[in-house]
Amino acid sequence: MSEQYLIVNKDIRIPADVLRFFYVRSSGPGGQNVNKVASKAVLRWNPETSLPESVVLRFQKLFPRCWTGNGEIIITSQRTRDALKNKTDCLEKLCKMLREAAKEPKFRIPTRPTKSSIRKRLENKAINSQKKLERKKIREE
């Protein structure tokens, strides 16, 4: 018996049995079907069981609106009128978000501005200051 996985990248594989899907009625226009068919897909998942802690923390920082109070991620899709297509869309959204959260942020080495850039900035400030002084009315004393 082989277990199915949602493969996000080479390092992240999520077991399919921990992803829970629910189907509810979609909002918005849709004619007669909108009140009868539950085609909106809702994905609920607790990521702390299958993700490294660093990825979970970056995910929380990048996508705070997806989180519930008890640490679950909720992703919804109601793009199409087909529940299966919306389920696939939810999985694609989750993969895209996880790939973004899995990227290690680049370490920034602090640098100082060069002497020439400081000189150019001060020269431009002086030119702009002179321009504005020339716009003023001259008072005779």
Termini Cα distance of the chain: 97
Q: At 69, is the secondary structure helix, strand, or coil? A: coil
Contact residues for 75 (Cβ-Cβ < 8 A; gap 6+): 42, 43, 66, 90, 93, 94, 97
Q: What is the CATH number of the domain that holds 93?
A: 3.30.160.20
Q: At 64, is the secondary structure helix, strand, or coil? A: helix
Q: Identify the segments of the chain with pLDDT beneath 50.
A: 1-2
What pLDDT, on a 0 to 100 scale, did the predictor assign at position 27? 79
Q: How far is CA 107 from CA 104, 117, 138, in A?
A: 9, 24, 53
Per the domain annotation, does 137 fall within a domain? no
What pTM does this model have? 0.70
Per the domain annotation, does 138 fall within a domain? no
Per the structure, how many domains does the chain have?
1
Per the domain annotation, does 116 fall within a domain? no
Per the domain annotation, does 50 fall within a domain? yes
